[in-house]
Structure 1
Amino acid sequence: MITKVTHGWRPGGLVAYLMGPGTVEEHVRPRVIASWDGLDEGWQPDTGPGGALDFQLGRLIGALQVPATRAGLPVSGQAPPGRGYVWHCSARLSATDRTLSDEEWAGVARRLLDGAGIATTEDLGGPRWIAVRHADDHIHVAAVLVREDTGRRFWPHHDYRGLRCTARELESELGLTPTALADRTAARRPQRAELELAARQGVEPARTELARVVREAAVAATDPGGFVDLLRGRGYLVELRRLPSGDPIGYKIARRATTPIWFGGGKLAPDLSMPKLITRWGQRGDATERLDAGVLAETRQTLERAERILRGARQGIAAENPDGIAHAVGDVVAALGARYGGALGEAASCYDGAARAPYEPVPDVGSVGSELRTLAGYLLRPRRRHRDDLDALSTVALLVALAALVQQIAQWRAEQGKRHQATAARDAQRLIRCTAEERRPRRGPPRPRYAREVAVDHSRRENAVAAIT
């Protein structure tokens, strides 16, 4: 069960939308299935003269917004700035789930409101709310966040997290498709306005592009100054925020534009804030200019060592922190994505979610993870003529080793019960392996045997003539 929450200022507008035909006539038989006072279906509006979707909504809207009117909050007209007092939650099932009855959905609505901290069965002075159903697979819950007993506006505490936990409980009780627990590892997705702006301009959404280039710069750099220089060298606007002592504490970045839209590092992804980047840079091993076998071979050997550690961790033998290795591998994938592009760039975006540890700071990466971070930085340096850099087989061997390690990470995440991270790792592993197959050198067709024999006979004849003369 997937839940989504939005906020607004007009109870009447939301009710009119929910009880209407929808934006593309998708609403079928909209009906009220639950309410704050237990009347439930009793609040179903009467049908007007216009047909099945012509409801007389005045009574329902008027009753729902009474607390807001008493509190002096706007119920119509231009919406003021800030988050509105109308709480709107949609709850949707998987396409493979069974169809719930109206009574079951009404129970789901009450459980979600309780889990979100908005309305409980014991709280008689809570807010007014209704649940509306107009499809088989989802419902909408609309609540006015003003208490009836005090007339005071309130905000639920950690409602998103409470909804996710409650949804998982309902999945188990009702036999629905299980979903993963929200763990704050996902990167921030572009908002609707960002997507529309990018579509008009015909470019990638700014948040997505900036997250990618920041991650690549974080891998290539070793300190805040070099990080900023790399981004500015690529044409981006970057500003550091410093403490009174002069130590960097944050940054913001934007594309070059007439009106730049700035993003802080933490708004791009949970592990791209300046404090976490500084932690990552401190985890690198001692840089060395001497790579006897070449950077690709050294990286492959380290990946193979990491893969053995992950395999041992899955068997209960934890030589080093597997979560730390998984995080450090993200630097290698990002470096290869920046170096070769194509599907490896997509793999870096996919693996991004698998790298982060939920609810935790940057994990301890250990000696192998530290070496991986260092080698990832070498992969993004200007090309050097290492012996194996000129050998396509070395690149393929590196990708095969990386795919094997990412597969172990996917299985490790799955055994931990972290479905989001496991899925992200599996998607990345598939792209990496496909790239390895595409880059594998193909031998040309063999020369015909008779051609080789003719060439040999011709050479012998020339040697014999030379000996006679």
Structure 2
Amino acid sequence: MMPNVTQGGRMAGLVMYLAGPGRANEHTDQRLIAGHDIVTFAVEPGKALTRDDALDIANVLDAPRKAHGTAVQKPVKEFDPETSQYVTTGKKDAHVWHCSLALKADEGKLSDEKWAEIAHDFVDGMGFIDPDGAKTSRWAAIHHGESKNGNDHIHIAVQMVREDGTKADVHFDKRRSQQVAREIEKKHGLVVLESRDKARGISGHKPAEKVSVRHHEGAMPAPEELRRRMRSALASSTNQHEYVQRLMDSGVRVAPRFAKGSTDHVVGYRVGLVPEPGSSKQTIYYAPSKIDRTLGWPHIGTRFNGEGKEGADRLLRGIHSGSIAQPDRATQVHGFDPRRTGQVMSGTTSPDTLSNIYARISMSMEKGKPGVFHQLSENYARAAQGGGNVAHAIRLGGRFASKNSARSWLAVLQQANRLARAMTDDKLASSRPQLTAATLPVLVQADQILRAELARVQKTEERSAKPAAETMSVDRFQAHGPDQGYGR
């Protein structure tokens, strides 16, 4: 079960949206599932919600706040490139606490009675219910059909001002929501989300990021695209300095984070995509460790054993001072670091390296649209360490040494697919069954693409054997030099 927590300042607006038709008439059979006693007294659970019902629910939820005049606000923060920190620029109302609870699409549907039990358990587990009543927050759970992707889900709206006028405690609510969801999964026999049970550190997508993506067909949410470019840069870098430069070359803006009180001691970095051409929007920066905990600055240093750190620090300080310009477009995607491909070819690799390799292949073959290789990169970023068959890898290594860049790329891809399948079958099947089930069909597609490309290259080589046929088209497999034309 996947919880998604947000806060806002318009209770009527939220409830009217949940009970309404949605942004594209996607809401169906809108109904109240459960709620505070006063809410379920005002509106009968299970009946089709009208506009008046929605207003009644909102008014009941808002009553304690209006009666006590208690204000609940949260700071508005923006990233300041000058200080490389988020600074408070104001405050906004935040008395509305909202959380959606969604099942995976393949889990099917739950009855209203089961959803009501889950809603009660969740609100209680989050600390919104006081047995004595005085410090209880009013709440309502609404169901309005499946999501666009077929996920059965409910929405829970909670009033942050409690019955006695005090404010509900929502510190660390996102972390707590994951803990409560895990308890509910086990209590009610739901599928336990692997990413939570294994404490993996890859972020999900916020609703605003998904909305932004819908305006750019084929694009990915910014954190996911940044993760792809960061892992691609890792696959082509030999040290920290190269890593930062490769990021910038791929259209990623990088900002340093300095130690407190310092403007030259680099302790971290933030990344953001170059805005769309002609856009007036500013770059939105993300902390890499929030996108993927293995991509934070300390982990980057560990990956390269500190090599190139001084150069990376100089580069980041230059960006901060303005002496080095941020990129305004993607200019180049670099070839593989021989050590990374060497690991793949020798079979002494890990899911982390496979993730980087697939990300780099995705950058060339899938441009701005997520595809098979991007999905494999995402899946192996979530997996544990594994190994492979060395003898077969050595035979493929001879092909990688070939001068034919298309052949060398396909050799890397073939070995990556083989190792990925062995790793998934041997290591992940027992420890990560959900991830295994999601990965194996994608590997089948990757093998199909590989066979098609091998056949294409074979035909090209046969044609090029003739004197007038030196027109081999292998641009998207070029291991070195500019790789133009992919997305933002």
Normalising by structure 2, we get a TM-score of 0.63
The equivalences for 1:377-416 within 5 A come to 387-390=401-404, 395-411=409-425, 412-416=427-431
Distance 1:135 1:341 in 2: 33
Is residue 273 of structure 1 aligned with residue 296 of structure 2?
yes
Distance 1:328 1:197 in 2: 28
Q: Which residue pairs with 2:350 in the alignment?
A: 325
Distance 1:334 1:97 in 2: 30
Structure 1 residue 9 displacement after superposition:
1.0
CA contact (8 A) 1:118 1:156 kept: no
Structure 1 residue 350 displacement after superposition:
1.7
Distance 2:195 2:254 in 1: 35
Are the structure 2 counterparts of residues 178 and 216 from structure 1 closer, same or farther at C-alpha, using a change threshold of 3 Å?
closer
The equivalences for 1:427-466 within 5 A come to 429-441=443-455
Are the structure 2 counterparts of residues 415 and 106 from structure 1 closer, same or farther at C-alpha, using a change threshold of 3 Å?
same
Distance 2:431 2:211 in 1: 34
Q: Mark the structure with the bigger radius of gyration.
A: 1
Letter in 1 for 2:41: G
Q: Which residue pairs with 2:440 in the alignment?
A: 426
Are the structure 2 counterparts of residues 205 and 252 from structure 1 closer, same or farther at C-alpha, using a change threshold of 3 Å?
same
Is residue 62 of structure 1 aligned with residue 59 of structure 2?
yes
Structure 1 residue 386 displacement after superposition:
7.7
Is residue 140 of structure 1 aligned with residue 155 of structure 2?
yes
Q: Which residue pairs with 1:249 in the alignment?
A: 267
Is residue 260 of structure 1 aligned with residue 282 of structure 2?
yes
Structure 1 residue 263 displacement after superposition:
1.5
SS in 1 for 2:294: coil
Q: Which residue pairs with 1:464 in the alignment?
A: none
Distance 2:420 2:369 in 1: 13
Are the structure 2 counterparts of residues 170 and 203 from structure 1 closer, same or farther at C-alpha, using a change threshold of 3 Å?
closer
Is residue 126 of structure 1 aligned with residue 136 of structure 2?
yes
CA contact (8 A) 1:334 1:345 kept: no
CA contact (8 A) 1:165 1:181 kept: no
Q: Which residue pairs with 1:316 in the alignment?
A: none
SS in 2 for 1:389: coil
The equivalences for 1:264-303 within 5 A come to 264=286, 265-282=288-305, 302-303=343-344
Is residue 226 of structure 1 aligned with residue 205 of structure 2?
no
Structure 1 residue 330 displacement after superposition:
2.3
Are the structure 2 counterparts of residues 248 and 222 from structure 1 closer, same or farther at C-alpha, using a change threshold of 3 Å?
farther
CA contact (8 A) 1:112 1:167 kept: yes
Structure 1 residue 121 displacement after superposition:
5.2
Are the structure 2 counterparts of residues 59 and 296 from structure 1 closer, same or farther at C-alpha, using a change threshold of 3 Å?
closer
Are the structure 2 counterparts of residues 269 and 116 from structure 1 closer, same or farther at C-alpha, using a change threshold of 3 Å?
same
Are the structure 2 counterparts of residues 241 and 298 from structure 1 closer, same or farther at C-alpha, using a change threshold of 3 Å?
closer
Are the structure 2 counterparts of residues 164 and 325 from structure 1 closer, same or farther at C-alpha, using a change threshold of 3 Å?
same
SS in 2 for 1:88: strand
Structure 1 residue 437 displacement after superposition:
0.7
Q: Which residue pairs with 1:108 in the alignment?
A: 118
Distance 1:190 1:33 in 2: 25
Structure 1 residue 4 displacement after superposition:
2.9
Letter in 1 for 2:417: A
Tell me the alpha carbon deviations over residues 32-81 of structure 1, each in whole angstroms, 9 at most, x when there is no partner: 343334x66422179xxxx9725356654333212222453469xxx984
Q: Which residue pairs with 2:332 in the alignment?
A: none
Q: Which residue pairs with 1:320 in the alignment?
A: none
Is residue 350 of structure 1 aligned with residue 364 of structure 2?
no
Tell me the alpha carbon deviations over residues 257-314 of structure 1, each in whole angstroms, 9 at most, x when there is no partner: 6553132333543332222211211289xxxxxxxxxx9999777436537xxxxxxx
CA contact (8 A) 1:222 1:281 kept: yes
Count of paired positions = 393
The equivalences for 1:210-225 within 5 A come to 210-225=226-241
Q: What's the Cα RMSD here?
A: 4.8
Letter in 1 for 2:245: D
SS in 2 for 1:240: strand
Letter in 1 for 2:16: A
Q: Aligned match of 2:69 in 53, 69, 72?
A: 72
Letter in 2 for 1:69: K
Q: Which runs of 5+ in 2 are unaligned?
A: 77-89, 147-151, 308-335, 460-488
CA contact (8 A) 2:236 2:337 kept: no
Distance 1:341 1:106 in 2: 43
Structure 1 residue 231 displacement after superposition:
3.7
CA contact (8 A) 1:4 1:90 kept: yes
Are the structure 2 counterparts of residues 356 and 225 from structure 1 closer, same or farther at C-alpha, using a change threshold of 3 Å?
same
Distance 1:181 1:230 in 2: 29
Are the structure 2 counterparts of residues 338 and 413 from structure 1 closer, same or farther at C-alpha, using a change threshold of 3 Å?
same
The equivalences for 1:302-321 within 5 A come to 302-303=343-344, 305-306=346-347
Distance 1:344 1:401 in 2: 24
Distance 2:380 2:341 in 1: 19
Q: Which residue pairs with 2:42 in the alignment?
A: 43
CA contact (8 A) 1:35 1:129 kept: yes
Normalising by structure 1, we get a TM-score of 0.66
Tell me the alpha carbon deviations over residues 383-406 of structure 1, each in whole angstroms, 9 at most, x when there is no partner: xx9851327655544333211211
SS in 2 for 1:12: helix
- Bigger drift between 127-136 and 298-307 goes to 298-307
Letter in 2 for 1:196: S
